[in-house]
Chain A
């Protein structure tokens, strides 16, 4: 049988270019009418492209040239940042998208691969953020180390939940994490050491004397201080993305998939259920915690109200909307979920309501999400 020709790289590159240009236009738009028009155009063109069958070649291109297109995506992110190099607000938005992506990638390892429920994502995110608040203020630890410690503490807090999470499944496991989310927020509110309901200030990042909260001047071009954070966030996102993709393709990912699909069968084949659930849960929490720690430093402020159960549900909504288990889908979904309400000020207040309604619609009409996870490719060039 003749080997199938690899799909062309170009559809992916073109799609990425168009999407990035669109994103820049959306981020740059100021008037509400223009934003609404842009959003409507975007939705219409995606539907039209799907109807004309253009998306099929884009998907094939992404499947065959993932590494090259990943590189293009990094260039696209850099181009976006360069375009807005002086605009604090847009850069902050881009950083938020990237850090939320890291957090949902962590959630994806737990939820999408191992099938371990976690409805306390925002709480673990908050643990990371509070870690950086406390450590930056009280100690002189290098700030990159603080990020790692944030991740470790989130994983440590997660390990407190291990026993109930391992012993329960389905609805029962969901309640454990929901209870933790409620407990965490109440705890932050009533406790005085961590600032109570008012929260804490977080000192900005500083690496080897390079203060991240100062604007940059390079050869007469002034850059927003958020460019520093952008660089770190981009590195974190790329690192996490590669890690999660490798994890998925490796035998670890295979084990996690087996575990999610049928625990009984998996254990019959000699997989240690508890071991893999613990691995996935802790890796996921670590990633969420690191993202949270960096986000705390970016925002400069942490308060209990940013880490509520509703925020955890938003993270889960991103996962469902993007298509559980598909990291590329997660990126798209995070951009939609974070950017749209920020730009469309009228719906900002209603965002929890809208996301909840959106997830209900997704569950009823398209349970696999916008970009469903493709079938695992066991050999390169192999297509089901």
Chain B
């Protein structure tokens, strides 16, 4: 394979990996503070993408034509809305079931995912069909041999890196981050130290869900299309990525996201009947990884959550 094509695949893999990593980080954050898996995470991402799209439609109708302005408003609105949604979910669905069996949390978040998915399908205008997502980033490209380096991809990748670095800074360098890490490590001790447990949990859910909204917008910009089913797909893959990296570690989640994207890209290149079976392959990999390393490549370490 020539270098240009190879670079193209690497670039695609990086874009996918960035999206998976952002989703996986959410799973890891929630698991850190509450020891639960929120299966509706992927669908929150999808709702975020649709919120952004609706915002765009609204802005467009209001006569706003500046792409940059629209994009910023979309991002801010989608992120805030999903952060709020995440807090509501945590407060009214997840926290009341803390003393119930873990199965109930699993089921309630799965069902919530269905509620979100079906609501978009039924109540968004023509929500059952794939919706075109506007291309808001400059699409100029540099051709290097067969490699077509698109500016929008580079921008998205940089934005993703910035978000992750920002999250890293938040968790490791601020008082809030310290509180989140403390709760993740030991809830009771954290409470004794005067940390407001409920507030920290809610903020963590807000952060995770905001990240999902960001990933959703990114997904829309990358594929120029969104549909109500992407949430389930990205949710399962993001969860697997979080597990590959070992639930509870942010670096693991990021690593897992990129690793998964890498596997998927390699699968697409290697398998001759490639693209049609791409998703079948991805889910087969999920199952195989579960069988091979049920608790992830980096083993879960209680003391190093988050």
Q: What residues make up the interface of A, taking CB atoms closer than 8 Å to B?
A: 117, 119, 161, 163-164, 167-168, 170-172, 174-176, 178-180, 182-183, 186-187, 190, 309-310, 313, 316-317, 320, 349-350, 352-353, 355-357, 359-360, 363-364, 367
Contact = CB atoms under 8 A, between A and B. Distances in A.
Nearest to A176: B290
Contacts of A313: 110-111, 114
A177 B276 CA distance: 22
A164 B291 CA distance: 4
Nearest to A354: B118
Contacts of B114: 310, 313, 352-353, 355-356
Given A170-B103, A357-B115, A363-B107, A182 B287 contact: no
Interface residues of B, number: 39
SS class, residues of chain B in contact with chain A: helix
Interface in B53-93: 93
Contact of A190 (B102, B110, B276): B276
Interface of B: 37, 39, 93, 96-97, 100, 102-104, 106-108, 110-112, 114-115, 118-119, 122, 232-233, 236, 239-240, 243, 276-277, 279-280, 283-284, 286-288, 290-291, 294-295
Given A164-B290, A190-B277, A350-B118, A171 B107 contact: no
B240 A182 contact: no
Contact of B283 (A186, A317, A349, A360): A186
Main secondary structure of the interface of A (DSSP, over half): helix
Contact of B106 (A170, A176, A190, A349): A170
B239 A175 contact: yes
A182 B290 CA distance: 15
Contact of B294 (A172, A174, A309, A355): A172
A182 B236 contact: yes
Contacts of B97: 363-364
A246 B119 CA distance: 42
Contacts of B276: 190
Contact of A179 (B100, B102, B103, B287): B287
A320 to B, nearest CB: 7
A263 to B, nearest CB: 13
B149 to A, nearest CB: 31
Kindly name the residue among A183, A349, A350, A357 whose own CB sees the greatest number of chain B CB atoms within 10 A.
A183
17 contacts: A117-B103, A164-B290, A171-B106, A172-B290, A174-B37, A176-B286, A179-B240, A182-B232, A186-B280, A190-B277, A309-B232, A350-B122, A359-B108, A360-B108, A363-B97, A364-B108, A367-B100
B96, B107, B118, B279: which has the most chain A beta carbons within 10 Å?
A: B107
Contacts of B110: 119, 174, 313
Given A179-B290, A360-B93, A360-B112, 18 more contacts: A171-B102, A172-B243, A175-B243, A182-B232, A182-B236, A182-B283, A183-B287, A186-B279, A187-B277, A190-B276, A190-B280, A313-B114, A350-B122, A352-B114, A359-B111, A360-B115, A363-B111, A364-B108
